[in-house]
Amino acid sequence: MSPASLSFQPNADTAQPALVHLLHDAEKRSSVLSLAATEEYIFSGTQCKYISVWDKKTFALTNTLRGHTGSVLALEYAKEKQWLFSSSGDSTVRIWSTASLKPIYVLDPYLETGAGDLFALAWSSNLQTIYIGCQNTSLQWYDFNMLGQVSSPPSSHDELQSPTPGSATPGGSAPRKAHKFFDSYPQYERKPADIFANNGTGGQVHGSSSPVLDGDAPQQGYLSVPASNVIDSAHFGYIYCMALLTTPDGTLHLATGSGDELVKLWSCTPKGPKLVHEFACTHGAVLALIVKDDTIYAGCQDGYVKILDLETKTLVRTIIVQEGVDILSMTLIGSDLYTCSANGWVKRWSASFDCAASWAAHDGIVLSSIATRRNVNDEDFRLVTGGNDSCIKIWEALPSKEKTPRMSSTEITPAFGAEVHTDTLTYALSKFVSIPSISCFPSNREDCRQAAIWLKKCLAQLGAHTALLPTGEEKNPLVLGTFEGTKSERPKLRVLFYGHYDVIPAPPDGWITDPFTLTGRNGCLYGRGVTDDKGPIIAVACAAADLLAQRALEIDLVFLIEGEEECGSTGFGECVRKYKDAIGHIDAILVSNSTWIAEDTPCITYGLRGVVHCALEISSDLPDLHSGIEGGAVQEPMFDMIKLLATLTDNQRRVQIPDFYDRVRPQTSEEEGLYRLLSGITRQPASSLVSRWREPSLTVHTIEISGPKNSTVIPGTVKAQISLRIVPDQDLDTIVQSLCDHLKNSFKGFDSPNKLDINVRHTADWWLGNLDDPWFKALEDSVREEWGMEPLRIREGGSIPSVPWLEKEFRCHALHLPMGQSSDQAHLPNERISLINLNKGRAVVQRFLRTIVERDIPPAT
């Protein structure tokens, strides 16, 4: 099946940036877990407990910072202080001078080793506070403004001395207890640990003949996080990552990501963080966070990146980097996002979420990454990555300035995403069409399931929260996707968009191209399902994604896409009722599953006929017989069937079922005027439109016989398929009962020894929209504004069973926006849709969703 990602793939010849330099300490082969950079140095925190210091100009290893007794999990640079913070699996945070490369402080978290591994750090220069994300799920912080309450803080070039016996530690906390690791004496001395043991934290100059001994190391200040600076159980999982940002209102916020699959947003104040919002990522642990302006990028364990908007508190997009492959680090350079994964690959994503580059960066796992300028005043950045292959690699990484090439609307190569790029709408549609989701063939049941899975991922990448809803055994699932609008004080309107991902069969006879390969020709896209109904589904989804990206979606748009529409929507109603709470309250229903009446004038559909499908079978107790032997001696089932079908209509084709026309709604003068207008446009008699749209009808579809079907056989069984199309205000249940009664009574009058079986297989009610409804007016105005012409109000002779059912179930009005043209060949060979119609359909939906908010249309009651 097609890959799940909607992102265009890069050209392999130009995808990999230049590798500037490789850094590797042969003496200490160890995974590079964390990175930081200053104007002079690159710092790398390793699994082997050291921090390596590399000169940015010469790329030489100039120093090694020692002191941690566990892996160095995070590094954070405080530029204005020239401090480097490092956190470790030894449950300490150490502070180093980036000028002298000497230790300054050791900071113990609250509970000391009980806090576990310290996975994440974030420094606020405004608050002079370091935030610490802990393995024990606590969020802790230390305010360095507290240092002034005891003694002057150290400069970047000096180191604090240890406190005198019995004195308070800097920060005003109680006297520090001896630490069993950092205050221990050599084992041979057999002395208990105390705060004056000073066992350890010198620096070693690379290349020196002897290390700096512990006794020669400068004394350090010891700090402790007070109990008041702790939020226990800040998450229900390890806190793996953090990032600081300022929201549009000027408030400093801290974002935290955890193994509980949540991103939490905290308002940072001098008194500590306060939780203000939670984002559910639902794709495994959040292992990496990065922020830009009012946007959070959250890298997840399952290979997804969730893009979260802070102003609207909504999910605006999902990128599938590679499913099932952890994203361990991310870096932003300009508008480009670099994702680093557990398979060793780095990918570069443009502002439009296209994959602009992809390459195998490390032989193993990419564990860390940062961006750093080439020189102090240089505008160009480099990407630095670290892996478990003990290597640090420096890549040339110029921010993207080019625009993604787009295709001409007059010619599209079938191989979407290969030799060419195209916009997200047609790119996604090409993948959707490639899945032969034919619901009436059992052999395509798995294809239907894969289409549902693909659509679920597609909607998720475009910014929706998605799920599959089971409809029962051997039935195709529903796809539920919710694009959440901006949160506000007043209740949001909720619009349900209904569609179907299943298609009818596409025998190759008559097709110019492969029906399951999207092909562009003369401004149209060809393929099974492009107009019925895959094209409109993707167009509406892209409309929602566009509004999300613009932070302009102010309603909730709920997608409910079924996979059995072409087979009568079996299981649909039961499933919707079962999961009605998950779907939520609905104020209006939007449908796009039909075509215009002509080629050049946009339309709005406001009516559909209902349908009753009925199977008849007349059979004898005898086997198939030879007409030369038994002809005339038996009452043949075929004659009974012919006579029975003949009772259904008269010579003027009027249906003879009793009371059939009694409740048909009379035609109004306004309708007469509309039909005259449409007759002039379509060049069809007005009476033909009336017969097709607003009058009921009966059709005999098939007659089948048993036996070898040659001219000498009397068939023992004869079957027929008939249907009724019903209109306002005929009652569906009454019509079904009248049909069955008429058939039974007529057959009884034949006094035949044969048996009649009647099976009403499928029914759907009629639907008529409210032309005076403010929702309809908003849609009509949106079409008019986008197309620059007055849309035609039309009805359809066909039926969409789910539309009237949804309208009754959710007690709100439905709206029907056709996107295709009359020549789109739905259900026929060479099905197509115009690129202009597809893109304008997307634009109309955007206008409509904006308009209903601007006009303050009241929600359904």
Query: Among all residues, which ones are annotated catalytic?
Result: 502, 565
CB neighbours of residue 446 within 10 Å: 11
Residue with tokens 């659509």: 455
Neighbouring CB atoms inside 10 A of 87's CB total 30
Residue 325 identity: V
Q: Which of 538, 563, 532 is nearest to 470 (CA)?
A: 563
Write the single-letter amino acid at 533: D
Token pair for residue 620? 């004898």
* Of the candidates 671, 698, 700, the residue with the CA atom closest to the CA atom of residue 687: 671
Rg (CA), the chain: 35
- 468 pairs with which residues across the strands? 479
Q: Give the burial class of 240: count Cβ atoms within 10 A of its Cβ; 0-12 exposed, 13-18 middle, 19 or more buried.
A: buried
Tokens of 634: 């038996």
Question: Would you give the distance in Å from CA 272 to the centre of its chain?
Answer: 34
Amino acid (one-letter) located at 564: E
Question: 686-693 and 669-682 are packed helices; what angle lies between their axes, rounded to 10 degrees?
Answer: 110
Q: How far is CA 675 from CA 160, 338, 600, 671, 795, in A?
A: 91, 58, 18, 6, 10
Residue-by-residue DSSP string for 392-415 = EEEEE-PPP-SPPP---TTEE-SS
Task: Respond yes or no on whether the N-terminal peptide bond of residue 729 is cis (omega within 30° of 0).
Answer: yes
Q: Is 736 exposed, middle or buried (0-12, 13-18, 19+ CB in 10 A)?
A: middle
Count of CA atoms in the C-beta half-sphere (13 A) of 565: 26
Distance, CA of 328 to CA of 347 (rounded, Å): 12
End-to-end, the C-alpha distance of the chain in Å comes to 43
Half-sphere exposure of 237 (CA within 13 A, CB side): 15
The CA distance from 697 to 685, in Å, is 18
Cα–Cα distance, 486 to 488 (Å, whole number)? 6
- Burial of 561 per CB tally in 10 Å (0-12, 13-18, 19+): buried
How far apart CA 51 and CA 94 sit, in angstroms, is 11
The residues near 144 (Cβ < 8 Å, ≥ 6 apart) are 128, 129, 130, 153
φ/ψ of 637, rounded to 5, equals -60, -30
